[in-house]
Amino acid sequence: MTDTATPPRETAHPIDRHILERWSPRAFDASPIDEATLLTLFEAARWAPSAYNHQPWRFAYALRGDAHWDAFVSALLPFNAAWAQAASTLVFVLSDQFITLPGKDVPSPATTASFDTGAAWGLLALQAAKLGLHSHAMAGFDHTRAAEVTGADARYRIEAAVAIGRIGDAAQLPDTLRAREFPSPRRALAETAFHGRLG
Amino acid sequence: MTDTATPPRETAHPIDRHILERWSPRAFDASPIDEATLLTLFEAARWAPSAYNHQPWRFAYALRGDAHWDAFVSALLPFNAAWAQAASTLVFVLSDQFITLPGKDVPSPATTASFDTGAAWGLLALQAAKLGLHSHAMAGFDHTRAAEVTGADARYRIEAAVAIGRIGDAAQLPDTLRAREFPSPRRALAETAFHGRLG
């Protein structure tokens, strides 16, 4: 386990410990995950708030070794596929970019779809942490290929690929990845939240 | 309290109860909030994951009755200002739409800024629920005015305005709002998460 050797994250204000302890490793143990556990994560995600309760989020998943797995791995960029293929599941997070507003007959652009879908992803990642799982979102995937393997048409934006599973042995990672296999720090709170105007 | 009269939300898969119970009321009680409590919410938000650990999220806030309050209220659309002015704090959630990637000298568009900032907002909303607070995000605000009152330049996208406070008496709401003052339902899990291809 890598994270026992890293300094604890600290916070001046007490928050849910899983929010504080959650991080995104690259070493996974290649174990399977049962589908009910995975559905628990999507269950958490779907209770996120969204404008007009549009619920723009969609999740397409492959379970390790199933009929979809190789296709999902193939949609990752090689440097991500190299480590993410040891995850238990791969998920593409998509957002419905169109909404039919109340009183309208035709869809219009859903301007908050990516933001709202991000909220769902945040809750998914937190619920994973609460179940002892780790998740790691990736921007590094082939969007065309990801659309092919998920069957997403132009209505959807593919926001992220996510590897989810149990943490593995960082010693198995290539040197370049092992060197950054620890929880990342954050910008100071005072540079993040501003009373009144941005500093 | 309105929510005691509404049917409980149900889930087939057990999730953090605050994720399930969190909802977005419009009736707030006009009580003050202490700044340390509010900072706890931003503390939760800042531990969200983001591509390249960019942390694109920024939060600008006004506390009820302070020097910024009236300006923040004025940036809401009137139908939102009418109820949101009874909140304890108003927050604009912004995202930094540019990132200087590793090895680069100039910023490029941060394609996941809205999505990542949504994750931070999701954790903020959840932490609020854990402290017994309610939050309600709004897309209905004047973007130009919001940029003025927060001092945000074109580098930032203003993703949402959020009212945060303690739940109030729904009987005080106008009829049209009182009629929908209850936790909203969600689309079925089977229409949200897909094994393999989108249904």
Spell out which residues of chain A touch residue B22, defining contact as CB-CB under 8 Å. Answer: 47, 49
Query: Residue B9 has what pLDDT?
Result: 84
Mean pLDDT for B46-60 is 98
Position A48 scores a pLDDT of 98
Residue of B47, B58, B186 with shortest CB distance to A198: B58
User: Which backbone phi and psi does B130 adopt, to 5 degrees?
Assistant: -70, -20
What average pLDDT score do residues B17-26 get? Answer: 98
Rounded Cα gap, residues B52 and B68, in angstroms: 33
Asked if the Cβ–Cβ distance from A192 to B126 is below 8 Å, we say no
Greatest CA separation found in chain A? 58
- Phi, psi dihedral angles at B73 (to 5 degrees): -60, -40
**Considering only alpha carbons, which residue of chain B is nearest residue A24?**
B49
Say which residue the tokens 């790691």 belong to.
A136
> Quick check: A121 and B120 CB within 8 A?
no
Give B-chain residues touching A183 at CB under 8 angstroms.
none
Q: Test B197 with A60 for CB contact under 8 angstroms.
A: yes
φ, ψ dihedrals at B46, nearest 5°: -75, -10
Query: What is the rounded CA–CA span in Å between residue A171 and residue A181?
Result: 10
H helices within B134-197, ranges in order? 143-150, 175-178
Per-residue pLDDT, A8: 72
Q: How far apart are the C-alpha atoms of B168 and B185, rounded to whole Å?
A: 21
pTM: 0.96
Cβ-defined contact of A122 to B122 (cutoff 8 Å): yes
- With beta carbons less than 8 A apart as the criterion, state whether A66 and A141 touch: no
Name the average pLDDT for chain B. 95
ipTM surpassing 0.90: yes
Residue A4 in tokens: 């026992």
Cβ <8 Å between B13 and A39: yes
pLDDT band for position B192 (cuts 50, 70, 90): very high
Average pLDDT over residues B165-180: 95
**Minimal-distance CA residue of chain B relative to A57:** B192
The residues spanned by each domain of chain B are 52-167
Q: Mark B95-120 as b/e (b = at least 16 C-beta within 10 Å).
A: bbbebeeeeeeeeeebebbbbbbbbb
Please give the pLDDT value at position A7. 64
Interface-testing mutation among A20, A47, A182, with chain B (most B C-beta atoms within 10 A): A47
Contact B118/A123, CB-based, under 8 Å?
A: no
CA distance A58 to B190: 10
CB atoms within 10 A of CB A128: 22
Check residue A6 and give its pLDDT. 61
Secondary element (H or E) of residue B79: helix B78-84
Nearest CA in chain B to A152: B198
Six token digits for residue A66: 């199933």
Instruction: Indicate yes or no: CB of A15 within 8 angstroms of CB of B94.
Output: no
Tell which phi-psi region holds residue A30, choosing left (phi > 0), alpha (psi between -120 and 50) or beta: left
Query: How far apart (Å, rounded) are the C-alpha atoms in residues A43 and A30?
Result: 24
The answer to whether the Cβ–Cβ distance between A117 and B121 falls below 8 Å is no
Residue A97: list chain B partners with CB under 8 A: none
Write down the pLDDT at residue A2.
44
The better pLDDT of the pair B12, A192 is held by A192
B23: distance to nearest CA of chain A, Å?
7
Beta carbons of A42 and A59 less than 8 angstroms apart: yes
Backbone dihedral region for residue B120 (phi beyond 0: left; psi -120 to 50: alpha; all else: beta): alpha
Looking at the partner chain, which of A93, A189, A195 has a beta carbon nearest the beta carbon of B46?
Answer: A189
DSSP state of A26: S
Separation in Å, CA of A125 to nearest CA in chain B: 9
d(CA A130, CA B189): 20
Ranges of residues in chain A whose predicted pLDDT is under 70: 1-7
CATH topology of domain A21-172: NADH Oxidase (3.40.109)
Between helix B35-46 and helix B113-130 the angle, nearest 10°, is: 140
Tell which wins on pLDDT, A3 or B198. B198
**Which CATH architecture best describes the domain B52-167?**
3-Layer(aba) Sandwich (3.40)
